[in-house]
Copies of this chain bind each other. A is one copy, B any other.
Amino acid sequence: MPPQSVTAALLVIGDEILSGRTKDKNIGIVADFLADLGIDLREVRVVPDSAAEIVAALNALRHRTTYVFTTGGIGPTHDDVTADAVASAFGVPLIEDERAIALMLQRIQPEDLNAARRRMARIPQGAELVENAISKAPGFRIGNVIVMAGVPAIVQSMLAAVAPKLERGTRTVLKTIVVGNMPEGAYASELSALAAQHPDLAIGSYPSFVDGKFANEIVVSGKDAAHVEAAAAAIHSIIAKLRAAGKDKYTIT
């Protein structure tokens, strides 16, 4: 039986990420969540609070992956246009949803359910709600698109709510080989030859620098744990051989 491939894209919606004012945390949160379910995240896009741009991105992404997750733009203020855009992309009306109103009334008094808050109960017709344990106003799912808030704690709550209903794939197994203070150029040729022998694996080399020294890592990943282990062992041997030859005495000047 071939490993199941379940895929996703993420659409992050928000002027505040593009302006640099807010440093995104949702990409990492969603990526970790999906990896845990064996769902492969294939692409992320960040677009502004613009209905036209959200529609264009959604329509580009939603036919290419099993799921599309969105974050941001479902609050009560005028800059929250995601629900409008999703309804438009699916060609369905956006209607005030009684289930959403009921959820919101678990937390606020009826007299506080003003026009702005009612905006948060506008849900595309036919969508399922995604509950939000933090502030109650729900996200929703329509077709393969799961629409969530932008606040990271609420994203985590909504992901937990939607998780039981998602198709799961074969988890990708990752093994990290800590290379340390050896430049990529020292091991790149042998790593490339090894990668060519393992077309079912992704082998990546990730350089970083700490106090003028390399702190490199190599990551092997794939759906077959035994193949990943075998390749990781081969990489350990390559690095040990190069280390014995003194290739790990390297300082950046």
A residues in contact (CB < 8 Å) with B: 12, 14-24, 27-28, 31-32, 34-35, 40-49, 53, 75-79, 107-108, 112, 114-117, 119-120, 134-135, 150-151, 153, 172, 174, 176, 184-185, 187-189, 191-192, 195-196, 202-209, 219, 221, 252-253
Chain B residues near A135 (CB-CB < 8 A): 207, 209, 252
| Residue on B nearest A25 in the bound complex, by CB | B23
Q: Which residues of B contact A44 (CB under 8 A)?
A: 12, 17-18, 44-46
Looking at the assembled complex, report how far the CB atom of A110 sits from the nearest CB atom of chain B, in whole angstroms.
13
Number of this chain's copies in the assembly equals: 2
| 12 cross-chain CB contacts under 8 A | A12-B44, A16-B219, A18-B31, A19-B31, A19-B174, A27-B27, A76-B185, A76-B188, A79-B203, A107-B252, A135-B252, A151-B209
Known contacts being A24-B27, A184-B116, is A19 close to B77, with CB within 8 Å? Answer: no
Closest 6 CB pairs of A and B: A116-B188, A20-B31, A78-B192, A44-B46, A117-B185, A20-B32
**What's the dominant secondary structure at chain A's contact region?**
mixed
CB–CB B48/A45 < 8 A? no
Q: CA separation between A252 and B53, bound complex, in Å?
A: 33
Neighbouring B residues of A191 by C-beta, 8 Å: 77-78
Assuming A78-B191, A114-B189, is B43 touching A47 (CB within 8 A)? yes
